[in-house]
Amino acid sequence: MSLRQKVTSISGAPAVSSRDVHGGMTPGPAAILGLTDGRQIFVKAVPSSAPGSYRAYEREAVALGALPAAAPAPVLIGTAEIDGWLALIMSAVPGEPAGPPWDDEGARLVARACAAIGSLPAPGEVPRIGELLTDLDGWDRIEDHDEWEREHAPMLARLARRWPEWTAGPSLVHQDVRADNALIGEEATLVDWSFGCAGASWLDGARLAADVVAAGHRDGPEAALRLAERILAGLPDGASRFVVALAGMWRHRSTLPPLAGLPTLRGWQAARARALRPLLERLTA
């Protein structure tokens, strides 16, 4: 049986239309399929030749299969693993990506979705955040600082320390809130649950604030900074510390060797860390 035939068997009807929606850095196809019975489904697949992405899809399948029904997320229909490929089949979510760039209304809806997710208990099948992210002490790990980092890294490292304690919690966390992982319709739905985990209820709100600055706002950098500060002002103090820790993690990871199948990841991480510097300066002023 081919992968296409397996997807048809799992979805319960053959496809009559296909719309490519691949984005991001993960290799492999992604499409919305129209089925003969009128339904639409979303299918994405990854080859085992990209082991990091393959493991991410395996984690996402576990997370989606365990999510509470109230989570603003797609519904997993099934998975297909054949000939070195792993495919995830799920409900198609209506709406358009929140960006990039962000706007205030999209961020407002995604903030609501983040709060809804944080109000839900994490299922036992997902890891704790400290098991998923092990290098939030990135500012302590960087060996070759540039001029900006030599001035700011010591304070940033102090703020990020003991992160396993203050990021822990029982709440559901999406943990990869980005404009391209949020679909905006009447409400916002978060997709790509590869990093779903258990942690503090405000972690996704902090990720939103970081992405607004790193991905940009349609009205420019100052609008992005103001919006990020408003988001963080409504969250516990740990949220600002988490943004600091994320920037250090991305900066540290940008110095590591490339990952198979993800040739642009290290450059993306370096750009994120640099883009967050104006926000870090405001948070530590």
Identify whether residues 150 and 279 lie together within a single domain. Answer: yes
179 and 245 in a single domain? The answer is yes
The domain that contains 21 carries what CATH number? 3.30.200.20
Residue at a domain's end among 74, 91, 108: 91
CA angle, 120 as apex, 129 and 234 as ends, to 5°? 80
**Looking at the structure, do residues 244 and 138 belong to the same domain, yes or no?**
yes
| Residue 168 and residue 41 share a domain | no
pLDDT of residue 42: 98
> Which residue bears the tokens 């991410």?
56
Please check whether residues 127 and 251 belong to one and the same domain: yes
In a shared domain, residues 230 and 115:
yes
Domain shared by 145 and 73, yes or no: no
Instruction: Give me the residues paired with residue 76 across strands.
Output: 90
Taking residues 240-248, report their average pLDDT: 98
Domain with residue 119: its CATH number is 3.90.1200
Supply φ then ψ for residue 112, to 5 degrees. -65, -40
The pairing of strands 85-91 and 40-47 is: antiparallel
pLDDT at 3: 85
Hey, what's the torsion of the CAs at 94, 95, 96, 102, to 10 degrees? -140
227 Cβ neighbours under 8 A, 6+ residues apart = 102, 104, 107, 209, 212, 217
Asked if 116 and 66 sit in the same domain, the reply is no
Domain endpoint, select from 68, 91, 114 = 91
Range of the domain at 185: 96-284
Mean pLDDT of the chain: 96
Strand-pair partners of 81: 86
> Are 115 and 57 within one domain?
no
For residue 114 the two structure tokens come to 């983040």
- Please indicate, yes or no, whether residues 135 and 59 belong to a single structural domain of this protein: no
Which residues are registered as beta bridge partners of 222? Answer: none
> According to the model, what pLDDT value does residue 24 have?
73
Interhelix angle 104-118/221-233, nearest 10 degrees:
30
Say how many domains are in the chain. Answer: 2
DSSP per-residue string spanning 110-123: HHHHHHHHHTSBPP
- 67, 91, 115: which is the final residue of a domain? 91
**φ/ψ (deg, to 5) at 183:** -105, 130
185 lies in the same domain as 66: no
151 lies in the same domain as 35: no
Q: What percent of the chain has pLDDT over 70?
A: 100
Work out the pLDDT band at 22, boundaries 50, 70, 90.
Answer: confident
The residues with which 97 forms a beta bridge, in sequence order, are 183
